[in-house]
Amino acid sequence: MSILDTRFETPYNTAPFSQLETAAFLPAFKKAIESAKAEIDLIVKNKALASFENTIEALEYTGEQLDRISSIFFNLNAAETNDTIQKIAQDVSPLLTEFSNDVALNTALFERVKAVYNTRESLSLTEEQKTLLDKKYKGFSRNGANLNADQKKILRAIDKELSQLQLTFGENILAETNRYELLLTELSDLDGLPEGAIEAAKQLAEEKHKKGWLITLDYPSYIPFMTYAKNRVLRQKLALAFGQKGFQNDALDNQDIVLKITQLRYKRAQLLGYQTHAHFVLEERMAKTPETVKTFLEDLLSKALPAAKKEFKELEDFAKKLDNIDRLEKWDSAYYSEKLKQQLFNFDDEQLKPYFKLENVIEGAFEVAQKLFGLQFTQTNEIDAYHKDVLTYKVEDSKQDLVAIFYADFFPRAGKRNGAWMTSYKSQYVKNGINERPHVSIVCNFTKPTSTKPSLLTFNEVTTLFHEFGHALHGMLADTIYPSLSGTSVAWDFVELPSQIMENWCYEKEALALFARHYETAAPIPMNLIDKIRAASTFQQGMQTLRQLSFGLLDMSWHGIDPCNIVAVKQHESAAFQATQLFPDVAENCMSTAFAHIFQGGYSSGYYSYKWAEVLDADAFEYFKENDLFDPKIAERFKTHVLSKGGTQDPLELYVKFRGQKPRAEALLRRSGLLN
Active site positions, annotated: 468
Alpha-carbon distances of 21 from 10, 14, 282, 285, 386, rounded to whole Å: 16, 16, 40, 39, 12
Q: Measured between alpha carbons, how far is 373 from 398 in angstroms, rounded to an integer?
A: 9
Instruction: Say how many CA atoms lie within 13 Å of 39 toward its Cβ.
Output: 21
176 Cα distance to chain centroid: 21
Helix, coil or strand: residue 442? strand
Q: How many CA atoms lie within 13 A of 563 on its CB side?
A: 30
Sequence-distant (6+) residues with CB within 8 A of 294 are: 556, 560
Distances (CA, A) of 436 to 394, 426, 590: 14, 9, 44
State how far the Cα of 665 lies from the Cα of 662, in Å rounded to an integer: 10
Q: What does the alpha-carbon distance between residue 118 and residue 287 come to, in Å, rounded to a whole number?
A: 27
Q: What number of other Cβ atoms are within 10 A of residue 118's Cβ?
A: 11
Three-point CA angle 456, 181, 589, nearest 5°: 100
The whole-angstrom separation of Cα 79 and Cα 180 is 19
Q: Do residues 115 and 107 make contact, with C-beta atoms less than 8 angstroms apart?
A: no
Helix H, strand E, coil C: the string for 243-287 is HCCCCCCCCCCCHHHHHHHHHHHHHHHHHCCCCCHHHHHHCCCCC
Helices (DSSP H) in 560-662: which residue ranges? 569-577, 596-599, 609-626, 632-638, 651-659
List the strands of the sheet with 391-396, edge to edge. Answer: 376-379, 391-396, 402-409, 439-443, 421-426
- Residue 523's contacts (CB-CB under 8 Å, 6 or more residues apart) are 517
Strand segments, DSSP code E, in 359-508 are 376-379, 391-396, 402-409, 421-426, 429-431, 434-436, 439-443
What φ, ψ does residue 351 adopt, rounded to 5°?
-70, -30
- List alpha helices for 520-599, DSSP H: 527-535, 541-559, 569-577, 596-599
Strand ranges inside 155-258, DSSP E: 182-184, 213-215
